[in-house]
Structure 1
């Protein structure tokens, strides 16, 4: 089997975030998808070992921001290559609060989606969180950042906890 065929799947880059018991957490993901229009629902895949996973479960809600083409590697590294366990990822780039009480950074973001957690599916190394979108806002007219652009132009790497990681 040629698993590199999966590289032909299209993805974006997103930050998924939540807050529970005073703990803010967020991480970069490439797997966020609208799954229904009425009611509006989306799914995100988050590695089981991420701090963000536990915070989403405790909060019962999450927020997804779609990164735009202005996002650079320092911004992506801030949310993608550090742990929320011992670092405030929102301090450097500003912090707003979504309609579900989740923190998010509005910088380098073209849209934000506030979701109430309605289901969790165990898919092996990751949980697939299903959320009902209770609020959505377009924050800019910038184009969304694709995962292909992240790899080809920004020369970004796929970390081991990414849903598309291959050793």
Structure 2
């Protein structure tokens, strides 16, 4: 227990690492526009009402999937399970659908809305229809109704904490000085990291870097 943090006079009241204690799952959002399929990793999906069922999904505006969902008003949320390997996060999170085809091959599984869903490493998926969009500057929050929902396996859902502790490779920091990305493990060598630095692997900013100890 951190007694300093409990002291109103001595506590750091701007310790934003507190946000990391909010429980998050990890998901692949898939979308389809015409004959183009795509998908990206998100960690902000939540049920906001149950009468009727409404799901909120936040997607970064830099992602191609964001633009496809905004245009078509449909998506699938694939709930990643704890057996998902790091390669899933590399494939859907560390590259852009503008540069590569993330969903290829014969036998692609599709829900009734025509959008692909993953055939492995998920325990369920939900097909969503966008009912409302909220502009959050860097992201859009899509408020959606559920048009289809299937449970695939009983394997537990991948949480962000589980990913950090069990899936993400440990960065090789021995003898290095600098900063390490908490999302993907990329190491930036140097005493100071620029405020506008963007991780070349996962595209996260300096807020997701921590100093190498």
Do both proteins adopt the same fold according to a TM-score greater than 0.5, normalized to the shorter chain? yes
Q: Does 1:149 find its partner at 2:162?
A: yes
The residue matched to 1:97 in structure 2 has which SS?
coil
Q: Deviations over 1:45-99 (max 9, x none)?
A: 1001110011101111111010001100012211111111121212279631122
Give 4+ residue runs of structure 1 displaced > 6 Å after superposition.
Answer: none
Which has a greater percent of strand? 1
Aligned CA RMSD, in angstroms, stands at: 1.9
Superposed CA offset, 1:130-166 (max 9, x none): 110011100001111110010111126423459xx63
Query: TM-score scaled by structure 2?
Result: 0.72
Q: Which residue of 2 aligns with 1:60?
A: 73
In 2, the alpha carbon distance for the partners of 1:37 and 1:141 equals 22
Structure 1: segments with no counterpart, 5+ residues = none
What is aligned with 2:6? none
Unaligned runs of 5+ in 2: 1-13, 170-181, 184-201
Count of residue pairs brought into register by the alignment: 165
**Please, which of 21, 24, 27 is the counterpart of residue 11 of structure 1?**
24
Q: Is the 8 A contact 2:29 2:77 kept in 1?
A: yes
**What TM-score do you get using the length of structure 1 for normalisation?**
0.91
Aligned to 2:208: 166
Query: CA 1:107–1:94 in 2, change beyond 3 Å: closer, same or farther?
Result: farther
How far apart are the structure 2 equivalents of 1:76 and 1:95?
19
For residues 56 and 106 of structure 2, the distance between their equivalents in structure 1, rounded to whole angstroms, comes to 25
